[in-house]
Structure 1
Amino acid sequence: METVLNPSRPCSLLIIIVNYRTARLTIDCLRSLEHEVRSQPGTQVVVVDNASGDQSVDAIQAAITQHHWQDWVTLLPSSRNGGYAYGNNLAIRPTLRADNPPSYYLLLNPDTQVRPGALKALVDFMEQHPTVGIAGSSFENQEGQLWANAFRFPSVWSELDGGLRLGLVSKLLSKWVVTQPMTEQAQAVDWLPGASMMIRRQVFETIGLMDEGYFLYYEETDFCLQAKRAGWPCWYVPQSRVMHIAGQSTGVRSEDRAPKRLPQYVFDSRRRYFVKNHGWLYAALADLAWSIGYSLWSMRRVIQRKPNTDPPYLFLDSLRNSVFLKFGSY
């Protein structure tokens, strides 16, 4: 584990890509990084394969060799799939013990491709704003259209809004709606998705690594909350552009396929986030608010004959995983 960094090259920026059965996308991501890495001195990349169990390791290693990326890319196979936080920590942990650890860490999804100048924009912003702990890119889809990527922390009010889905209520609760409208200017936000998130080394030194109690989802939300509580704010930097195809590793969120039943870890992560950060009573209120809102939405949907676009068994699974039925488990 101590050989994560290439000792022959100084490293000021370490990019971590966690792959799980998305070798082709990971290779495309590395290809998009090649020019950016070479134009941003001191940048190295670690690809963590989260025990894919397919041919990912062989395919990625073959691409590294074929394209002569060995001087800036290291492949780190994991013996088990411990989740997103676990995979990132696997690469980050040993570098923090190095004699000259990186100044910045960029968490980057395998289903992304960085646009020209994306790395420089984030590094420059962090250099110019030494009190900022976390900075994230703006995202675009494959057609180049921007989509919202900055958020407010979840709350009882956002859970009510998410379940109810009523325009008037959303306007009244606009200060608590999770998705936060972005402008073309850099701005402070509560949290950013880990698909392209740059973290100052001192943040890890202050609050520790990401919580591996989350398998997938909410781990970056939790991390940004811990950072904010420790005095390290999070900023959205639109000058850094990244193309992102959501849901390729999990299939939980995808625009080109019908929704499928949400996996258990989504509900476990949500419950962990609320209980860990706000306590059992608040988590119960959040569950209650979402359940009431969703029940009202379901009745309105039937009356208005609206299509059901939710994952199958959403209400049943949410109830089964609420703190009312899983008290003491998080």
Structure 2
Amino acid sequence: MSAADATAVVVTHNSAGQIVAALTALRQAQVPVRLVDNASTDGTVDLVRRRFPEVTVLASATNTGFATAVNRAAAGVDTDVVLLVNPDCVVTPGTVTELVRVLRDRPSVGIAGPRLTDAHGRVAISAHRFESLATVLASRFGGSLVPVSLRRLLSGRQRRAAYDACVRGAQPVAVDWLSGACLAVRRELFVAIGGLDEGYFLYYEDEELCLQAARHGAEVLYVPSVTAVHTGGASSSDPAWIWPHLYRSMLRFFARHRAGTLRAVRGVVLLRALIGIGLAGARMPLQPRAGTARLRAWTRVGRIAVTRPETRGGA
């Protein structure tokens, strides 16, 4: 395999501000790109068609969700590797080449991903253990109140190992799952799994993909020797839109794979929503716009928490 054995799949939704950098890097890597646009209203489609005529653009009239869009694009891929790239992620030619080489040289590996950094070079924690009630508690109630160093100390050995691999690791290491901002996936594995689970509209489809890869006997490999720059926020920064999708997907994942702790997780989400509603209300006199957006978001999350999560079908 070489970089020519990969096809990049990109999904956009109001991504005009980020997509040029992402596609420029993929052009430099000489990787064909299949892009699905989920009903952008900011001129993303026209921009891509004008600046990158070599890109195959599939424009959707409605926002079908990330997983559905990826599967639509991937259906036309005939290379050995499907390279999933977020529109706010810049992947250098060297990173593409190395990820493809890893899949070529390690038959046991089905998914490989690079170290992710932000625009300032700060490393993102993108390699993880599969989620549990403990990780939900830490992530939803830790935040700035609990220093990262303390959270790391209190976490399990395998979770610490994944954290250390992100921050200071140099050698490839097998992990449970990787952030979907940039993933190289064997096409035959992607097909065998059935693509991304379209029951997730947004979020958790990467963890689900890696879980299904493991069930098919394939390793997920974190490759810290190469990097991709992930700036984040390509589609929306509106919490009233983003947070409900995040928590709905979280509950769906637990309903499917952690049913024994689902009720407790729903309780955690509801408590977090109630705290969020209270903090948003307190914030409104000083920051009415931000407070209103957060109040709307947490109210929607609270409603999701008390609704029985759907384990199959749409979001």
Structure having the higher helix fraction is 2
After TM superposition, the structure 1 = structure 2 runs for residues 299-310 of structure 1, keeping only pairs within 5 Å, are none
Q: 1:26 aligns to what?
A: 19
Structure 1 residues 45 and 162, CA, compared in 2 at 3 Å: closer, same or farther? same
Per the TM alignment, residue 118 of structure 1 is displaced from its structure 2 partner at its CA by: 0.8
Distance between the aligned counterparts of 2:208 and 2:65, measured in 1? 15
Per the TM alignment, residue 206 of structure 1 is displaced from its structure 2 partner at its CA by: 2.1
Residues 269 and 302 in structure 2, CA contact (< 8 A), matched pair in contact too: no
Q: 2:283 aligns to what?
A: none
Residues 276 and 294 in structure 2, CA contact (< 8 A), matched pair in contact too: no
Q: Residue 185 in 1 paired to residue 171 in 2?
A: yes
Distance between the aligned counterparts of 2:241 and 2:195, measured in 1? 30
Residues 211 and 219 in structure 1, CA contact (< 8 A), matched pair in contact too: yes
Structure 1 residues 169 and 87, CA, compared in 2 at 3 Å: closer, same or farther? closer
Distance between the aligned counterparts of 2:118 and 2:67, measured in 1? 24
Q: 1:305 aligns to what?
A: none
Structure 1 residues 261 and 33, CA, compared in 2 at 3 Å: closer, same or farther? closer
The amino acid that maps onto 1:80 is: T
Q: Residue 264 in 1 paired to residue 252 in 2?
A: no
Distance between the aligned counterparts of 2:41 and 2:75, measured in 1? 24
Question: Secondary structure at the residue paired with 2:109?
Answer: coil
Residues 142 and 243 in structure 1, CA contact (< 8 A), matched pair in contact too: yes
Q: Tell me the C-alpha RMSD between the 2 structures.
A: 3.1
Distance between the aligned counterparts of 2:270 and 2:11, measured in 1? 34
Q: Residue 312 in 1 paired to residue 298 in 2?
A: no
Structure 1 residues 30 and 293, CA, compared in 2 at 3 Å: closer, same or farther? closer
Distance between the aligned counterparts of 1:52 and 1:123, measured in 2? 31
Question: Secondary structure at the residue paired with 1:61?
Answer: helix
Q: 1:220 aligns to what?
A: 206
Q: Larger deviation: 232-241 or 82-91?
A: 232-241
The amino acid that maps onto 1:147 is: A
Distance between the aligned counterparts of 1:237 and 1:176, measured in 2? 17
Residues 176 and 210 in structure 2, CA contact (< 8 A), matched pair in contact too: yes
Question: Secondary structure at the residue paired with 1:242?
Answer: strand
Distance between the aligned counterparts of 2:15 and 2:241, measured in 1? 21
Distance between the aligned counterparts of 1:293 and 1:251, measured in 2? 20
Residues 291 and 315 in structure 1, CA contact (< 8 A), matched pair in contact too: no
Per the TM alignment, residue 54 of structure 1 is displaced from its structure 2 partner at its CA by: 3.3
Aligned match of 2:184 in 190, 194, 198? 198
After TM superposition, the structure 1 = structure 2 runs for residues 274-289 of structure 1, keeping only pairs within 5 Å, are 274-279=254-259, 281-288=260-267
Per the TM alignment, residue 180 of structure 1 is displaced from its structure 2 partner at its CA by: 2.8
After TM superposition, the structure 1 = structure 2 runs for residues 89-168 of structure 1, keeping only pairs within 5 Å, are 89-95=71-77, 101-165=78-142, 166=146
Per the TM alignment, residue 148 of structure 1 is displaced from its structure 2 partner at its CA by: 2.1
The amino acid that maps onto 2:164 is: P
**Identity of matched residues, %:** 30
Residues 108 and 197 in structure 1, CA contact (< 8 A), matched pair in contact too: yes
Structure 1 residues 274 and 58, CA, compared in 2 at 3 Å: closer, same or farther? same
Residues 152 and 180 in structure 1, CA contact (< 8 A), matched pair in contact too: no
Per the TM alignment, residue 224 of structure 1 is displaced from its structure 2 partner at its CA by: 0.8
Per the TM alignment, residue 207 of structure 1 is displaced from its structure 2 partner at its CA by: 1.4
Structure 1 residues 151 and 90, CA, compared in 2 at 3 Å: closer, same or farther? same
Q: 1:321 aligns to what?
A: 304
Q: Give TM-score, length-normalised by structure 2.
A: 0.80
Distance between the aligned counterparts of 2:46 and 2:300, measured in 1? 38
Aligned match of 1:209 in 195, 204, 212? 195
Aligned match of 2:28 in 24, 35, 44? 35
The amino acid that maps onto 1:75 is: V
Structure 1 residues 316 and 64, CA, compared in 2 at 3 Å: closer, same or farther? closer
Structure 1 residues 185 and 294, CA, compared in 2 at 3 Å: closer, same or farther? farther
Question: Secondary structure at the residue paired with 1:180?
Answer: helix
Distance between the aligned counterparts of 1:121 and 1:16, measured in 2? 18
**Which protein is bigger by CA-based radius of gyration?**
1
Structure 1 residues 171 and 46, CA, compared in 2 at 3 Å: closer, same or farther? same
Per the TM alignment, residue 116 of structure 1 is displaced from its structure 2 partner at its CA by: 4.2
Residues 16 and 46 in structure 1, CA contact (< 8 A), matched pair in contact too: yes
Residues 163 and 297 in structure 1, CA contact (< 8 A), matched pair in contact too: no
Q: Larger deviation: 44-53 or 127-136?
A: 44-53
Distance between the aligned counterparts of 2:276 and 2:15, measured in 1? 36
Per the TM alignment, residue 12 of structure 1 is displaced from its structure 2 partner at its CA by: 2.4
Question: Secondary structure at the residue paired with 2:48?
Answer: helix
Distance between the aligned counterparts of 1:15 and 1:93, measured in 2? 12
**5+ residue gaps, structure 1:** 1-9, 38-42, 96-100, 253-258, 299-308
Residues 162 and 293 in structure 1, CA contact (< 8 A), matched pair in contact too: no
Question: Secondary structure at the residue paired with 1:49?
Answer: strand
Note the alpha carbon deviations across 1:166-196, whole angstroms, 9 max, x for none: 5667633334759733212111111111110
Per the TM alignment, residue 11 of structure 1 is displaced from its structure 2 partner at its CA by: 6.2
Q: 2:281 aligns to what?
A: none
